[in-house]
């Protein structure tokens, strides 16, 4: 799918340069965000040229709403610790109504299916060791409330039963055997069981 390099104009001035594979969707998003904005497509090309052109246009025109040099998305942008705290507090107090949930569900059902290329990328993705440690530290000791556990249980009961193919069962069996032959995996399993038993005793 070709990429489109585009510009957003407000009151005749260029305020943003971007690239996308879905120009119609991006146009709707920008017009909803920037009132009275004009969406203008510059060129339709492959990804490499689109990234190069986006960087050149940002460097040439310096649009005020571009947060980085462009070319690879917002990967170079990092929120400050203060901004992260503000975002976290805002998310904690946000209440999503049932009507909003239904709308989100309907919008998700209308999304196009994930391409086979994207599926291959997702299958090949692996967390780095540093990322695994960070994720483990974040999740360690987190206790879900009774209401959250009840909601998770009800959601699980609504799911259709899953039947694995014979090939999948063989893969799972090999993975489990390999896992429990690892001394570190055995140690982590024992520690997890010990923590669960301790937590059950405390609840009683």
Write down the pLDDT at residue 204. Answer: 67
Domain membership of residue 18 as a residue range: 3-76
Residue 41 lies in a domain: yes
Q: What is the pLDDT of residue 77?
A: 63
Q: Is residue 90 part of a domain?
A: no
pLDDT digits (tens, 9 = 90+) for 143-162: 888 898 898 998 888 888 87
In a domain? residue 30: yes
Digit-coded pLDDT (tens) for 9-63: 998 899 999 999 889 999 999 888 888 889 999 999 988 898 899 999 998 988 8
- What are the tens digits of pLDDT across the range 92-144? 888 889 999 999 999 999 988 888 888 888 887 888 888 888 888 888 878 88
In a domain, 44, yes or no: yes
Examine residue 96 and state whether it is found in any structural domain, yes or no. no
Give the per-residue pLDDT at 8.
Answer: 93
pLDDT reported for residue 73: 61
Domain presence at residue 165: no
pLDDT band at 181 (very low <50, low <70, confident <90, very high): confident
Q: How far, in Å, CA of 107 to CA of 121, rounded? A: 24
Instruction: Give the integer Cα–Cα distance in Å for 62 and 73.
Output: 16
- Decide if 20 is inside a domain: yes
Residue 98 in any domain: the answer is no
* CATH code where residue 30 lies: 3.40.1440.10
pTM, two decimal places:
0.41
Domain count across the chain = 1
Least confident of 67-76, 102-111, 127-136, 182-191: 67-76
Q: 80 near 88, Cβ under 8 Å?
A: no
């Amino acid at each position: 799918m070709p990429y489109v390099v585009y510009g957003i104009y407000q009151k005749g001035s260029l305020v943003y340069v971007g690239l996308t594979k879905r120009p119609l969707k991006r146009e709707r998003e920008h017009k909803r965000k920037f009132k009275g904005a004009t969406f203008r497509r510059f060129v339709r090309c492959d990804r490499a040229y689109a990234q190069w052109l986006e960087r050149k246009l940002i460097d040439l025109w310096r649009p005020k709403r571009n947060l980085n040099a462009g070319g690879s998305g917002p990967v170079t942008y990092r929120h400050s610790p203060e901004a992260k705290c503000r975002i976290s507090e805002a998310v904690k107090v946000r209440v999503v109504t049932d009507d909003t949930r239904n709308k989100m569900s309907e919008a998700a059902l209308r999304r196009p299916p994930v391409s086979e290329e994207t599926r291959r990328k997702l299958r090949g993705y692996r967390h780095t060791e540093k990322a695994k440690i960070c994720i483990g530290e974040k999740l360690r000791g987190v206790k879900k409330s009774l209401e959250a556990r009840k909601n998770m249980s009800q959601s699980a009961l609504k799911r259709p039963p899953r039947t694995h193919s014979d090939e999948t069962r063989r893969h799972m069996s090999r993975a489990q055997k390999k896992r429990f032959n690892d001394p570190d995996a055995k140690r982590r399993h024992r520690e997890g069981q010990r923590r669960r038993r301790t937590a059950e005793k405390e609840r009683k």
